[in-house]
Structure 1
Amino acid sequence: MDNDPTITGGYHTKPLRRIERLSLHLQAPPSSIPTVSPLLSSPCGSSKLLSPVNPEALSEYMRGRHREVQERIFDFFRSRPDLQTPVEISTRDHRELCMRQLAALVNEAGVRPFRYVVDDPSLYFAVLEAVGGVDISLAIKLGVQYSLWGGSVVNLGTKKHKDKYFDGIDNLEYPGCFAMTELHHGSNVQGLQTTATFDPITDEFVIDTPNDGAIKWWIGNAAVHGKFATVFAKLVLPFQGERGGSANMGVHAFIVPIRDMETHVSLPGIEIHDCGHKVGLNGVDNGALRFKSVRIPRDNLLDRFGSVSRDGKYTSILPTINKRFAATLGELVGGRVGLAYSSVSVLKIATTIAVRYSLLRQQFGPPKKPEVSILDYQSQQHKLMPMLASTYAFHFATRHLVDKYSEMKKSHDEEVVGDVHALSAGLKAYVTSYTAKSLSVCREACGGHGYAAVNRFGILRNDHDIFQTFEGDNTVLLQQVAADLLKQYKEKFQGGTLTVTWSYLRESMNSYLSQPNPVTTRWEGEDHLRNPTFQLNAFRHRTSRLLQSVAVRLSKHSKTLGGFGAWNRCLNHLLTLAESHIESVILAKFIESVQSCPDTSTKAVLKLVCDLYALDRIWNDIGTYRNVDYVAPNKAKAIHKLTEILCFQVRGVARELVDAFDFPDHVTRAPIGMTSEAYLHYTQHAGF
């Protein structure tokens, strides 16, 4: 029935799938996944019992209006086993499969992500999350086509570009690339060396790669499928008349055809090479591009922020190279938003597999008693329950980021633009780094079975690993966050208006400077420790202290080392500041989401998970709080004890919490992560 193309256009009906999932929640837990072991019927200390958790209601609150399009995508790929990525596949076959997956999604399932890029960004990111569950390579290829190549055309170009290219990008007739990164330049985009020199005689730009370091490198879609590229290059205008010479107008973006539309052969002057097999994401055809006097029409300049007239005169609504550069990159921030959001989806899948297997696997136990689930062991809870809590925290934080990005695209308000730029940099860096580490923890938590490729941890880890690098290296992005914090501290702390993301700093900084050791230093009651006001104040106090102290250090060292030397001397301090600030934002958005939840039982379980996230983060950095006497020894012990209790309580609802992520088994795919009969699925892969 699932494969019957006559049913709703070829994919499983959404109502039937809803009924199937609801019936699973209403039935008794599958016998293959034991309930809480009597070994740990009560942890040390008090325990407040939760009402029964309804995964369907929790999932509805988390995903909202995005559920329909995501289930449509999941059901389509379920109906098409020929489009599902096998565990073992060659690079060449994976690339072709990935292209077929994308074409089928767009032209058969009728999902058109490019229209969402323009009209409804939050829905676009929901599509990106769903296809990432199918294959992360597919998500990246989709992102290259629609967010990077397509996004550059509609965001950096003008009406003439949209009219000419939109339909072809939308229906995949114009597969394209985003040619920014060079062999010698990645994060330092202003240092790009590719040139685009205007020729007033022919009314063309001439694209050149002046040296090997300027070869465009790691360009997705370039090696095999791309026909166009948005090429970032220095716009050079020759002086006219007797003066000679030229003027560099800074980095601009140009549409450059790279292959013939009919024969698919590379065009004259364009040299294309394959970057080869990678650690992961081998469904994406990354390539290298060299340009030798490639001529393109003047209209191929994406000229929203700067244009060149027929007689070679440059005009712009922005007065300086730096302002034009900032505006250009600001329009491309959607890539970072997408990576942060997609990274959370990867973490959801890995956590789901690890938690379900930890509920299934039994090992040891009291003498002459049944073996117990390994999730009943405190060590396993310590590995996985804070991770599960963080996954929920990141979900709500990145959903907030998507909402802010959507607001930015509608309003173009400068304050919101700056807010999104800093928040996307920080969340992308923080979340992708956390997910990368967590994937290894999940593999180890599942023992030898976690090492089997079919159980996906290795594939997820390898495919996700590059998330820490592209769209901005994480260390560089955290420095941007720190720099923005210092700018706010210097320019706006005294009487100015702070942007939304940083607005808490004024009150927090005033409190820190006037009362560095609050009266709550020794309070250790559970109600106090689980009070969101205490939790937020602790996070924000740490950020305020780090900000004030690094500002003093930078001022001191700049007198002898200069600005660059002082920054480098304080670099680790600055990175810690940025991470602390991002954690504060994550917690604030989690608390808001808990308080906004209308369903009582759902709200209660989210409050439990939020408390675990907050107290685990505080305990993780307890040395800092102890060193400045923000937390007394007795309070530190109470935080540690309560964190263990909360881990135990979250373990009691762990199954429901991962079920609420609502990934079908054909998306999760790992046999040890199936909702039932996991061992049966697993042994079948070995031929039993």
Structure 2
Amino acid sequence: MESSSSSSSSVEAPEHGAQSSARRLLRLRSHLTPDVPPPPPRRADELEMLTCARATKLEIDTERLSDYMRGKHRGIQEKVYEYFNSRPHLQTPVEISMDEHRELCMSQLLGLVREAGIRPFRFVSEDPEKYFAIMEAAGSVDMSLGIKMGVQYSLWGGSVINLGTKRHRDKYSDQIDSMEYPGCFAMTELHHGSNVQGLQTTATFDPITDEFVIDTPNDGAIKWWIGNAAVHGKFATVFAKLMLPTHEARGLADMGVHAFIVPIRDMTTHKTLPGIEIHDCGHKIGLNGVDNGALRFRSVRIPRENLLNRFGDVSRDGKYTSSLPTINKRFAATLGELVGGRVGLAYSSVGVLKIAVTIATRYSLLRQQFGPPKKPEVSILDYQSQQHKLMPMLASTYAFHFATLYLVEKYSEMKKSHDDQLVGDVHALSAGLKAYVTSYTAKSLSICREACGGHGYAAVNRFGSLRNDHDIFQTFEGDNTVLLQQVAGDLLKQYKEKFQGGTLAVTWNYLRESMNTYLSQPNPVTARWESEEHLRDPKFQLDAFRYRTSRLLQSVAVRLRKHTKTLGSFGAWNRCLNHLLTLAESHIESVVLAKFIEAVERCPDVSARAVLKLACDLYALDCIWNDIGTYRNVDYVAPNKAKAIHKLTEYLSFQVRNVAGELVHAFDLPDHVTRAPIAMQSEAYSQYTQYVGF
């Protein structure tokens, strides 16, 4: 009997074997994770049923999700959309010449301001959140319109109210607001873009006539790519080195870069004024509704009062005064007041991403191709490869939405408080988010086009124009590589101050609070935790992001110190440049995730919060998986855990696919805004065939 019993127990039924294996695995896991009580063992068939049950689609109230997403400025955006929807003659056709596009774009802006009564300029300082909401809506109608609006109000108008004083605001504000004074922002030169301190245009004070004389000393100093200059602008804010006569042998003292209001065309005849030479920069890759021009100045005289003198002034007798003691401090203050352009670009880039993701997702739900033998074809979004392309992108769009919303809130707070610490924080955060988000959107536009196959190549479906119009976002208002270096430089400054007992800016607080934790040796136990509950825990996700940033920061600080001894500071920086860029991107991803987690926790609607949590988890785990080599190299994640992260990322992509239609619907972009036939919410193919003439 004993031998018989022993024999029978050694050959278990399949379900008993599976149950025994499950028990052993759970027992092993309980040893590795002693704080987490092991769940009761389940039979293999029960586990299979549980997996199926988890695939149940979330129920979403898209209206509440949309309300939470778009907030208090939803109404003004809808007003913009409806204005253009009711005026077909102001809608941009697929095929249009550069000259026609420029005139249409000007008509669109004039109509919005004068006919629709939407006056964005008053909100540039009073309510930046509302201003950026208008700008996003205008850019959704035509990206050229959004940029032309930005040139007029953020750049030309913003320079007057932010760099000037009361006399400038009193003289120019109403006419800028009404579009009576269309203007330009003449900073970039042929030889100098990102290096603004290297500008060569001069503004020399003439004490005899009480005027500044604006000169372009060489071809490299020609102002280049100046929006509104080629056709419509009547004024320009010109950035130039302020030169003052001295009694010394050299004759002139360079007081650094300042801004000056320079009329460039006659107010009545619109003819170019004497001493000013304007040329058209011509056809561009995109944004051809914006008239970019080149400006040369030959001894152009302007009144002394045209110096925008908030940070530095010149008296009648040629004396220079400033509340800021050095050229560098004045320059930093000047650029700090112009940070709104970067904020607007980051915010607007997310708006472009929303349109592209909406088109690609709706088409992927509509398009059916292949399927099981003798069964109906399936939606192409049912394919794992399509989910892999689009679902992390959809999750990232939500992540960037909340991050840029936070940036706009901080910028608005900065404009009200003028707090020095907040100014520095917003400067670095806007540089990082602008660089990261615009680079991501540029890559995503190509992925969306490819994901829609041949139909994505049709101009009417917009990927080509969106990609071309958005491409410049990566280099204007600061080249992205340069901006990321600014973020890295600020992180290193904060890192140094941390060990000297200084105060860290708000965005970098985690470096002080948890640096020692993040830089300690990874826990070999937690490195193996692989349960879904653990991987979807916001604390694990945020700790992983911040651990990576902290390690990158510490290691690049050590490398810079080492290389500076032999290469000097510039050589050391260049030797470590790729490391520094990776550090900046890692930090920005940490900020984005933190803001997404906060947005999930704040969401008042249960169903909306559940779907946002799903998207947040996908964003976090996809980012970790995309850099899994870094985590593996330092043993932060064990092999089994890395595999679990990959599997869960794929599963979350599948779950997001199940609610993808609702998620893009919550962006609340009407068909007349997305405008792509393949993205229509009903009868998409019939719209498409009608367009080509059937």
Query: Fold conserved (TM > 0.5)?
Result: yes
Once residues 642 and 459 of structure 1 are traced to their aligned partners in structure 2, the CA distance between those partners, rounded to angstroms, is 35
Deviation per CA, 1:198-233: give whole Å up to 9, x if none.
000000000000000000000000000000000000
User: Shift of the alpha carbon at 1:42?
Assistant: 9.8
Moved more, 512-521 or 51-60: 512-521
Matched, 1:388 2:388: no
Matched, 1:194 2:201: yes
Deviation per CA, 1:152-175: give whole Å up to 9, x if none.
000000000000000000000000
Deviation per CA, 1:405-434: give whole Å up to 9, x if none.
000000000011000000000000000000
Indicate the SS of the match to 2:376: coil
Matched, 1:166 2:173: yes
Aligned to 2:4: none
Indicate the SS of the match to 1:416: helix
**Pick from 32, 44, 52: which aligns with 2:59?**
52
Matched, 1:262 2:262: no
Deviation per CA, 1:528-559: give whole Å up to 9, x if none.
00000000000000000000000000011111
Once residues 545 and 168 of structure 1 are traced to their aligned partners in structure 2, the CA distance between those partners, rounded to angstroms, is 52
What RMSD, in angstroms, separates the aligned Cα atoms of the two structures? 1.3
**Pick from 112, 117, 142: which aligns with 1:135?**
142
User: Shift of the alpha carbon at 1:513?
Assistant: 2.8
Once residues 310 and 244 of structure 1 are traced to their aligned partners in structure 2, the CA distance between those partners, rounded to angstroms, is 22
Matched, 1:367 2:354: no
Once residues 84 and 328 of structure 2 are traced to their aligned partners in structure 1, the CA distance between those partners, rounded to angstroms, is 45
Aligned to 1:587: 593
Moved more, 364-373 or 493-502: 493-502
Gaps of 5+ in 2: 1-47
Deviation per CA, 1:481-519: give whole Å up to 9, x if none.
000000111123442211001011123321123334464
Matched, 1:302 2:302: no
Cα pair 1:521 1:629 within 8 Å, conserved: yes
Aligned residues: 647
Cα pair 1:113 1:146 within 8 Å, conserved: yes
The one-letter amino acid of 1:94's match is H
Matched, 1:530 2:536: yes
Matched, 1:101 2:108: yes
Cα pair 1:543 1:580 within 8 Å, conserved: yes
- TM-score, normalised by the number of residues in structure 1: 0.93
Q: How does 1:69-468 map to 2 (within 5 A)?
A: 69-240=76-247, 245-468=251-474
Once residues 519 and 597 of structure 2 are traced to their aligned partners in structure 1, the CA distance between those partners, rounded to angstroms, is 25
Cα pair 1:45 1:645 within 8 Å, conserved: no
Aligned to 2:15: none
Once residues 604 and 327 of structure 1 are traced to their aligned partners in structure 2, the CA distance between those partners, rounded to angstroms, is 43
The one-letter amino acid of 1:140's match is I
Once residues 341 and 250 of structure 1 are traced to their aligned partners in structure 2, the CA distance between those partners, rounded to angstroms, is 31
Once residues 157 and 196 of structure 1 are traced to their aligned partners in structure 2, the CA distance between those partners, rounded to angstroms, is 16
Percent of residue pairs identical: 82
Once residues 192 and 449 of structure 1 are traced to their aligned partners in structure 2, the CA distance between those partners, rounded to angstroms, is 46
Task: Summarize the Cα distance change of 1:42–1:69 in structure 2 as closer, same or farther, 3 Å threshold.
Answer: farther
Cα pair 2:497 2:504 within 8 Å, conserved: no
Indicate the SS of the match to 1:311: coil
User: Shift of the alpha carbon at 1:46?
Assistant: 7.0
Deviation per CA, 1:598-640: give whole Å up to 9, x if none.
0000000000000000000000000000000000000000000
Once residues 458 and 144 of structure 2 are traced to their aligned partners in structure 1, the CA distance between those partners, rounded to angstroms, is 20
User: Shift of the alpha carbon at 1:49?
Assistant: 3.5
Deviation per CA, 1:138-186: give whole Å up to 9, x if none.
0000000000000000000000000000000000000000000000000
Indicate the SS of the match to 2:154: helix
Cα pair 2:224 2:293 within 8 Å, conserved: yes
Cα pair 2:58 2:659 within 8 Å, conserved: no
Once residues 500 and 386 of structure 1 are traced to their aligned partners in structure 2, the CA distance between those partners, rounded to angstroms, is 28
Once residues 163 and 81 of structure 1 are traced to their aligned partners in structure 2, the CA distance between those partners, rounded to angstroms, is 37
Once residues 42 and 79 of structure 1 are traced to their aligned partners in structure 2, the CA distance between those partners, rounded to angstroms, is 53
User: Shift of the alpha carbon at 1:45?
Assistant: 7.6
Indicate the SS of the match to 2:371: coil
Once residues 499 and 360 of structure 2 are traced to their aligned partners in structure 1, the CA distance between those partners, rounded to angstroms, is 45
Once residues 684 and 124 of structure 1 are traced to their aligned partners in structure 2, the CA distance between those partners, rounded to angstroms, is 37
Q: How does 1:472-491 map to 2 (within 5 A)?
A: 472-491=478-497
Q: How does 1:531-546 map to 2 (within 5 A)?
A: 531-546=537-552
Deviation per CA, 1:281-313: give whole Å up to 9, x if none.
000000000000000000000000000000000
Task: Summarize the Cα distance change of 1:43–1:215 in structure 2 as closer, same or farther, 3 Å threshold.
Answer: farther
Once residues 308 and 79 of structure 1 are traced to their aligned partners in structure 2, the CA distance between those partners, rounded to angstroms, is 51
Structure exhibiting the larger radius of gyration computed from Cα positions: 2
Deviation per CA, 1:104-160: give whole Å up to 9, x if none.
000000000000102100000000100011000000000000000000000000000
Gaps of 5+ in 1: 1-40
Once residues 496 and 211 of structure 1 are traced to their aligned partners in structure 2, the CA distance between those partners, rounded to angstroms, is 45
Once residues 53 and 557 of structure 2 are traced to their aligned partners in structure 1, the CA distance between those partners, rounded to angstroms, is 43
Q: How does 1:34-49 map to 2 (within 5 A)?
A: 47=54, 49=56
